[in-house]
Amino acid sequence: MQFTRLILTSLILSFAVKAAPFKKVLTDARKGYRISNWQMVANDMPGYKGEAKWHIRKRILQGGKQEGVEIIEVDNGKLRLRVIPTRGMGILDAQLGDVWLGWDSPIKEVVHPKFVNLESRGGLGWIEGFNEWMARCGLEYAGHPGKDKFITNTGATGEMDLTLHGKIANIPASEVIVTVDRETPYTIRLRGRVDERVFFGPKLELWTEISTVPGSSTFTISDTLTNRGSESQEFMLIYHANYGSPLLEQGAKLMVAAERVAPFNDHAAKAVNRWNTYAAPKSGFVEEVYQIFPFADEQGRTTIQLQNARGNRGVAMNWSLKQLPYLTQWKNTVAKTDGYVTGLEPGTSFPHNRSWERAAGRVSKLKPGQARSFSIQVGIQSGKEEVEAVAKKIIKLQGNRRTLVQAKPEPNPLPKTEDK
């Protein structure tokens, strides 16, 4: 009996060792450790039997304002991602065939945060480094610049200047880890920890995992946000995903099952009846922003799709509305040289100033030690049938329900004395 148990224990341990994923630590700030240049290809992993010839590469950019920026490329053999640990684990772009997730920003370099002054231009300094496909907005605040109340080190109520979209996109990751499963489907995971901590302020920790399966046309962003402080902490989190050509063009359209759409301001209200379609680039265009309240399916999830004018190229994003209940649509169809782009931005709130969002009941809180998780699945469609298959699911979710398109922005929820 004892011998049998010993054999079973050995088999279990053997299986556990065999199943353990490959792991490589690329950055660990606590140990003062960083690998500058590194790569791994599929053939480097013993026992890999998959068909996709994937690779992972890390390098340090040189020259200009991108000096010292870390880039990690994850190519699953079909889909390529480029992640920026130096910029809050944002995703620079993604490519599958001729479908590119990204945009042609006037900012041509991957700007190191040390060259970004968040307080410049009246609190709009965030845009000095803005050229990613996906940049997170948050964590203490995520919306427009302006003033808001906070508790000072003496316990009194003070007033602080909030900058555009918060700090998280300009904080380098403190830990970066690559893992690859040794068993089918050989999932590749890039994990990173980004801390937003202030003495007498928030102590927020974000762990992100960007994962993909070799040979697939999809990837997943999975984040866990934890309050490491001893007091409850407000937070805001918006995933600022940005799309330019070739998906964005005249006649491109946004597919979303929506309960309600509201213009962000009076300017956007003038064009609210064409909120889900896009125009050609136009010099002097002033951005239009819309607040969208999506419908959820039986699992509490929603799917949106941006498709090109011909309907043969598209990208879909799928997430839980329990985690991210709101969608912001940013239309910036200016001349291409000025940044022709649209933002599709799932979030815990809309991007008003925090004081506005708090008054509207859309600023969340974490108790001491509490964590919240967020996950977005992204898939690229590179043919008409693939695009139509996703679009049909969205149309089915909408069903016979009409979308309420509001002619005016939501009323300002702030008392007049607090109007920002």
The residues, ordered by sequence, that sit 6+ positions from 220 with a Cβ below 8 Å of its Cβ are: 209, 210, 211, 212, 375, 376, 377, 378
What 3-state class would DSSP assign to 129? helix
CA distance 299 to 293: 17
Q: Write the Ramachandran bin of 271: left for phi over 0, alpha for psi from -120 to 50, otherwise beta.
A: alpha
Instruction: Give the Å distances, CA to CA, from 385 to 97, 231, 251, 310.
Output: 16, 51, 19, 12
pLDDT for position 415: 86
Give the length of the chain.
420
pLDDT for position 7: 52
Q: What is the CA radius of gyration of the chain?
A: 22
CA distance 162 to 160: 6
What 3-state class would DSSP assign to 4? helix
> 196: closest CA among 165, 155, 161?
165
The pairing of beta strand 175-180 with beta strand 22-28: antiparallel
The ranges of the chain with pLDDT < 70 are 1-18, 417-420
What 3-state class would DSSP assign to 17? helix
> 134: closest CA among 187, 76, 84, 175?
84
CA distance 27 to 29: 6
Give alpha helix (H) positions in 120-212.
120-123
What 3-state class would DSSP assign to 144? coil
Q: Per the structure block, which two tokens stand in for 31?
A: 């140990």
Residue 365: CA count within 13 A, CB half-sphere: 8
CB burial of residue 277 (10 Å; 0-12, 13-18, 19+): middle
CA distance 300 to 316: 17
Mind listing the domains of the chain with CATH numbers? 20-418 (2.70.98.10)
List, as own/partner pairs, every contact residues 189-197 make where C-beta atoms lie below 8 angstroms and the sequence separation is at least 24, other chains included.
189/21, 190/56, 190/72, 190/74, 190/83, 192/27, 192/83, 192/85, 192/89, 194/88, 194/89, 194/168, 195/171, 196/138, 196/139, 196/140, 196/167, 196/168, 196/171, 197/228
pLDDT for position 170: 98
Q: Which residues pair with 226 in a beta bridge?
A: 205, 371
pLDDT for position 416: 77
> 183: closest CA among 402, 2, 22?
22
Q: Per the structure block, which two tokens stand in for 181?
A: 């499963």
The DSSP output letter for 16 is H
Residue with tokens 């009323």: 411
> 214: closest CA among 70, 43, 338, 355?
43
Q: What are phi and psi of 387, to 5 degrees?
A: -60, -45
**Segment (H or E) for 211:** strand 203-212
* 355 neighbors 148 (Cβ within 8 angstroms): yes
Interval 7-50: pLDDT, tens: 555 555 544 455 799 999 999 999 999 999 999 999 999 889 99
Interval 106-129: pLDDT, tens: 999 999 999 999 999 999 999 999
List, as own/partner pairs, every contact residues 386-390 make where C-beta atoms lie below 8 angstroms and the sequence separation is at least 24, other chains included.
386/314, 387/305, 387/307, 387/311, 387/312, 387/313, 387/314, 388/311, 390/255, 390/303, 390/305, 390/314, 390/316
